[in-house]
Amino acid sequence: MLDIKFIRENVDIVKNACKVKGFKDYTDEIIVLDTRVRELKTLTQTKTAEKNKITKEIPTAADKTSLIAKSKTIGDEIAADIDELATKEAELNDLLHRVPQIPSSDAPVGKDEESNIEIRRVGKPKKFNFELRPQWDLLDMNNWWAPEKIAQICGTRTYALMGEAAELDLAIQTFVIQKLISKGFIFVQCPAITKPQTIFDAGHFMGSDLSVMNNDVFMLTDTDRCLAGTAEIVLNSLHCDEILPESELPIKYAGYSPCFRKEAGAAGRDTRGLVRFHQFHKVEQYIYCKPEQSDEMHELLLNNLFEIMEDLELPYRVIASSTGDMGFNKVKMHDVEAWFPSEDAYRELGSCSSIGEFQARRTNTRFRENGTNDVKFCATLNNTGIALPRAIVPVIENHQNADGSVNIPKALQPLMGGRKTIGGRK
């Protein structure tokens, strides 16, 4: 969320953010409510002081009756003001949680993904001298999955990898975790079960009514828990209500967790293959830093994912997301898309986001500045390390051979027992 003081002093900037991000503009209502809340606070303080003064005068007053009556009248007024104050504060709090983050001045302006800008491409898609097999054919012929049986047992949008594909999946995530650890990231195995408030505090949903998450989040019936869609959720609250020493920043985490999403808005999309499921697993990069370090950390997170794409020997491109496509809580966002040969297209494998102080204000995560001793809100950033099984798709498609075998990228071979290929007709 944004600081109310910032909104008061930058109404035009906030209004423009609502416009370019495509969210309803509540700025005028917020200013009216904020003015009334401050008036009511002043009124209750003034009236309380007056009532206290009268209370002290009553024991020695000649006309106690009138003073008692006056004190009661003021007390009733204070009670009414306090009731109105509670109502107005709740309304203000809800609207403040509907104001989007201010996008970076260098973010492309546009209403949706059509306004995204391609920044660069790395690597050239391979030209195959045989008939290309899509992911599901490679998985079928190598007995690397059993989609019909798993759907029968577990329902739609579920999967199970088998044999060498499951080994490859584990090798990829292990490689990425080890790489991030070597770069100074603290590895965290995050729980997938959390509280709805924790998801809300990550700033992906608007308003103060937590039920707004029900279409996207799996709630656990008869409990106060739900299933998180990314390790970012837990990592974001790891230092809630703490004041960190400036000397500890930046703090870099590599979080791993199973991830659960309803995918309610994806009906009919990616129903075949390994792209979109209710459950998957992901390694997430997450950073707490000083606000002035955000741009540097954004580049660091991006470069890590670039290296991972190159380690997996995948052609990829980098996309700067437009204001209308980047989402509610982001300052800026870059997507990293790998080449999917069977689709003759690039598809997202990772998304790098600068959040500014937006999340830290919700979690009350701050740092104490060296020298001045001032307490300020941290900035937060996140980026995918790797998401699986989606990442399996470009790996097996780009590295396939005519016999249906798949070449293992050199970086993964030590984690695959030294094998250079898997699958294929035996």
Q: Which residue shows structure tokens 């104001």?
A: 99
| Token pair of 84 as six digits | 């109105």
Taking the C-alpha atoms of residue 30 and residue 18, their distance in angstroms, rounded to an integer, is: 13
pLDDT value of residue 17: 97
Compute the half-sphere exposure of residue 156: CA atoms within 13 Å on the CB side of its CA.
10
Token digits of residue 236: 């974001």
Give bridge partners of residue 194 from the DSSP assignment.
Answer: 226
**Could you tell me the two tokens for 265?**
């808005």
310-355 pLDDT tens trace = 999 999 999 999 999 999 999 999 999 999 999 999 999 999 999 9
Enumerate the H helices of 97-218 as residue ranges.
135-141, 147-154, 163-182, 196-201
Instruction: For residue 379, give the 3-state DSSP assignment.
Output: strand
Residue 379 Cα distances to 190, 332, 392, 409, angstroms: 21, 13, 32, 36
Domains and CATH numbers, the chain: 4-96 (1.10.287.40), 113-423 (3.30.930.10)
Residues 298 and 334: their CA atoms lie apart, in Å, by 9
What pLDDT, in 10s, does the model give residues 78-96?
Answer: 999 999 999 999 999 999 9
C-alpha separations of 93 from 39, 82, 97, 328 in Å: 16, 16, 6, 17
pTM to 2 decimal places:
0.92
Query: What is each CA distance from 391 to 191, 323, 408, in whole angstroms?
Result: 22, 26, 13
Residue 95's pLDDT is 95
Q: What is the pLDDT of residue 208?
A: 77
User: Which of 318, 313, 252, 251 lies closest to 283, judged by CA?
Assistant: 252
Burial track 35-53 (b if 16+ CB lie within 10 A, e otherwise): ebbeebeebbeeeeeebee
Cα atoms found within 13 Å of the Cα of residue 316, Cβ hemisphere only: 26
pLDDT of residue 270: 58
Q: Which residues pair with 373 in a beta bridge?
A: none
pLDDT score recorded for residue 176: 98
Answer for the pair 256, 281: CB distance below 8 angstroms, yes or no.
yes
pLDDT along the chain (426 residues), means of 10: 94 96 96 96 94 88 85 92 95 94 95 95 95 94 91 88 96 98 98 94 85 87 94 97 96 96 64 82 97 98 98 98 95 97 95 97 95 92 96 97 96 97 84
Residues with catalytic function:
261, 276, 348, 351, 390
